[in-house]
Structure 1
Amino acid sequence: MTAVAIDGWTAFWAAVSHIYEMKFVQVIVIIVVAVALRIALRIVIDRVVSRIVTGVKERQHVQDTRALITSPLSAVRVVQRTRTLGSVLNNIVAVVLVIVAGLSIITTINPTILGSFALITAALGAGLGFGAQNIVKDVLNGLFMVAEDQLGVGDVVDLGPATGVVEAVGIRITQIRDVNGTVWFVRNGEIIRVGNMSQGWSRVILDLAVPSDADAAAVQERMLTIGTEMAADPKWRSRILEKPE
């Protein structure tokens, strides 16, 4: 009887061990597949971004993107927009893969765990959904801002809560550095308007102080002459879009 009991327990624990070994292997496979997908998608996204940026540099006959400062504004916008979209897409891919892999691992370890805690899961899901609506709003708003070319890295923008140079556009946060050097982290969902001072063109109005007894007409004519000369200068010609007036 003792030998039979021992053999039974041995077989039982062997079966349990076999089941957990199989689940452990499945978990490892899920993790490996998730990591492989993450690496593959990152390579694809980075390669697409690099190809677009390289194409822009070739069309502008430059080797460094910093040299695009003197190129048409559309080329600069394409580079900024492409790199920003690439960064956002990489973040989204990482988050989605982590969530999917996590749920797959939980289901593999215990297929009934989600069903056993259906009510708790539903309550937690509702609570998280209500609390995460701001996160979803941040992500969607950030995607639309980048996709619609409202702003890009390097732009000088006024977002309401902060004004400065865009240093990074993340999946949830836009990073702005103001003139004092302060870095502002603005939630994308809180941005209800975007004032972009770097997009397209800008108008410059200069106030020049002159003596009260100066000939206003002569001063105005002299200023107009200097402006016209600057517009004809090769150094400034590409930056002055309209005739000075």
Structure 2
Amino acid sequence: MTETEWLAACDPMPMLSYLGDKGSCRKHRLFGCACCRRIWSYLSDPRSQEAVRGAELYADGQITQQALSSVQVGADRAMRPWSERNFVGTGPLERAGIFRAWVSSSAAKAVARPTNFLNNLARSIREATHYALLAEFGDRYTLGPGRTQHGDLLRDVFGNPFRPIVFSPDWRTSTTTTLAAQMYESRDFSALPILADALQDAGCDSEEVLDHCRATSEVHVRGCWIVDLVLGKE
């Protein structure tokens, strides 16, 4: 994959394949969780939702691997009845509902896989992303416009791997770190343009950083590369 292809890509699957073991376990897991949060309404079983929350907490070192294993077991139990359903005698709408419930819960189970080996986790996140896309779009996701936002979401988490940013410690002021922390915890990234102004006041002259903060039409999620840089997260 070239830089031009990365910047224009809509489908996250080849982008994830290109990343391979680039980036951190934390970022891969948070991207998978972001995909699951897009299909939150389809995760009707609380155990599936708890698996996504647990994966996010584990990504930030807030729960143990044993606790993550526990929520993944719950996610597996939530998924199993749907994967074992018999389609005989069901109509197309019911079959679609069963399929959506199965792939949604499968995505939640995959993001909570308790591993710290990046190669293994990257495979799990590709699996989770595939299931999340199927839940959201069905077979249409290979052609549908929804891929665009998923590509943007992946770029929000990983940035541009072809142009790594050298982030100056001087840009981490009390104002920038407070703004970034508030957005990270609340998942409300509407203050990113304000963060851009604060970074500029701190001496930031990186067009990539400032433009990403001010691109109000872009999607932003927990793991956003700008917020992570300000907070010193990998």
* More strand by percentage: 1
Which structure carries more relative contact order (alpha carbon 8 Å, separation 6+)?
2
* More helix by percentage: 2
TM-score of the superposition, structure 1-length normalised? 0.25
TM-score of the superposition, structure 2-length normalised? 0.26
Higher radius of gyration, 1 or 2 = 1
